[in-house]
Amino acid sequence: MNIEEVSKNTKLLIDSTPFSVETVEFVKPGKGRAIYKFRLRNLFSGNVLDITFHSGDKVEETSITIHEMQFLFKEDDNYIFMDSSSFEQNPMTKQQVGEKGGFLKEGTPVVIMMWEGRPIDIQLPKTVELKVLETSAALKGATITAQMKEGKLETGISIGVPSFIKDGDVIKIDTRTGSYVERVGLK
């Protein structure tokens, strides 16, 4: 594919590694060929790469497929997901899942990006409901602002929760920010 055809969110293959185009900047100098400056995100590591091409350069486009899956269980340092349509199981390493693993409980629906049959990224639902196993003691005192305390969740992560949350409460969490949204109920 010609460099002129590349736009934001195009998936490129550079040195056998898939990248997603984050930004494209076109510069036309007074003399010479036009310059295309790209900010690319490595789809394996998440690292950002700034790279420059000239008009007429060729790049290789690659395809990424999206699969709706369900989190099954964690085994050693692997997270096991099942494809909702083919029932095929796909493992992802702890490094690939990263901090998102703290929001995964059995049965959580997710979207997995695949490249050449290998899972490379995971997209969580916007919110998840998790049970609070243990909370720290709330600080006593009259204040205008809401008091937050630490709550340990069933997946092992801890987040700030309001002082009225008790052990055993089920709360909704925003997976994009990792913050408390609301109390759902007792289970």
Tokens 């969110």 correspond to 9
Please check whether residue 53 is in contact with residue 39, taking contact to mean a CB–CB distance below 8 angstroms: no
SS3 81: strand
**Domains of the chain, CATH where assigned:** 3-61 (2.30.30.30), 65-123 (2.40.50.140), 127-186 (2.40.50.140)
pLDDT digits (tens, 9 = 90+) for 39-63: 988 887 778 889 998 888 898 888 8
Predicted confidence at residue 104, as pLDDT, reads 93
**CA pair distance 117, 11, nearest whole angstrom:** 15
Dist CA 184 CA 180 (whole Å):
11
**Across the chain, what does the average pLDDT equal?**
86
**Vertex 4, ends 61 and 122: CA angle to 5°?**
35
Residue 143, pLDDT score = 58
- At residue 82 the predicted structure's pLDDT band, cuts being 50, 70 and 90, is very high
Q: pLDDT-derived band of residue 33, with 50, 70 and 90 as boundaries?
A: confident
144 — pLDDT class (breaks 50, 70, 90): low
Contact 79, 91 (CB under 8 A): yes
Residue 174: its pLDDT value, please? 92
Write down the H helix ranges in the chain.
94-97
| Predicted confidence (pLDDT) at residue 26 exceeds the cutoff of 90 | no
Non-local CB neighbours of 86 within 8 Å, separated by 6+ positions: none
The structure's pTM equals: 0.70
Q: Is the pLDDT of residue 30 over 90?
A: no
- Is pLDDT at 69 greater than 90 in this prediction? yes
Amino acid 145: pLDDT = 63
